[in-house]
Amino acid sequence: MFHFQQWPGRIVSQFLVVVALVVLAIPLALIVRESLSGEGVRNYSLVLSTTPFLQFFLNSAIVSVTTVVLVLFLALSAAYCFGILKPRGSTVGAVIILTGLALPAIALVVPLYFAIQAVGLLDTYWSVIIPLTVISLPFGVLVGTNYIRGLPVELYEAGRLDGAGPWQFFWQILVPMCRPILSVIALFTFLAAWNEYLLPLLFIQSTDRQMLTQVPTYFQSERLVDTPKIFAANILISLPIVAVFIALQKTFRTGLSAGAVK
């Protein structure tokens, strides 16, 4: 970006970038400092040793990864349908799915609770996975459909001429070409699932199935709030998100700016 600017513009742009980095870094530094106050690094070891952190970590990983896989498959399948196949009624179906973006998630909690209870999934991983998938799906369908519509129409026609059926085209051509937008959907879905607090709290009663976001509650009560350990727990909880972003950052940036196929 700076390469195409004149030197006054470069100075202003770089100054604004530095200011933005400072604004972002100060809260992070304060969080780290607070997590090290009191007993220092021992706060982190106490979080790991005095709570079922590893069990909760495994539970969150199961729920988050399963939700991501379901959302990726369903969102790309719906985007393929709306963007390329376009069967009769696809416009109405797209509108119905995308209306989910206008609904606040909190408004769905009560009907979801009774629905999950009715089918006997209460206090299971699926009681969290299914609602998270439903909530995350409209965003995935929206960005996936927009991405696919930006692909050359000739791709599908060439695939048909080569004898590829709809599913062959989907798996062998479309999925590899949609990796950038899939990484965007995966990252946002993983972020939402990993940080989810309300749904596990309401739908899961067994302690051994609780999620990682419940760990900070072990250090707060009516009379005591152990702030350093709460901040230490939050930092440990956020590390997998940072790792996922680092792993997907290249395709994530490509997906955000995608609009054409080179």
Domain map (residue ranges) of the chain:
1-35, 40-256
Residues of the chain with pLDDT under 50: 259-262
What is the pLDDT, as a whole number, of residue 259? Answer: 42
Burial (CB count <10 Å: 0-12, 13-18, 19+), residue 8? exposed
What is the pLDDT, as a whole number, of residue 111? Answer: 87
| Among 246, 150, 122, 148, residue whose Cα is nearest residue 190 | 246
Instruction: Report the C-alpha gap between 123 and 200 in whole angstroms.
Output: 9
Instruction: Report the C-alpha gap between 76 and 142 in whole angstroms.
Output: 10
In 10 A of CB 161, how many CB atoms?
9
What is the pLDDT, as a whole number, of residue 260? Answer: 37
Q: Which CATH architecture is the domain 40-256 placed in?
A: Orthogonal Bundle (1.10)
Burial (CB count <10 Å: 0-12, 13-18, 19+), residue 129? buried
Instruction: Report the C-alpha gap between 85 and 78 in whole angstroms.
Output: 10
What is the pLDDT, as a whole number, of residue 262? Answer: 39
pLDDT digits (tens, 9 = 90+) for 217-237: 888 876 778 888 999 999 999
CB 173 within 8 A of CB 159: yes
CB 188 within 8 A of CB 248: no
CB 170 within 8 A of CB 139: no
Please list the alpha-helical segments (H only) found in 36-125. 42-50, 53-80, 90-98, 109-118
What is the pLDDT, as a whole number, of residue 5? Answer: 60
CB 144 within 8 A of CB 79: yes
What is the pLDDT, as a whole number, of residue 261? Answer: 40
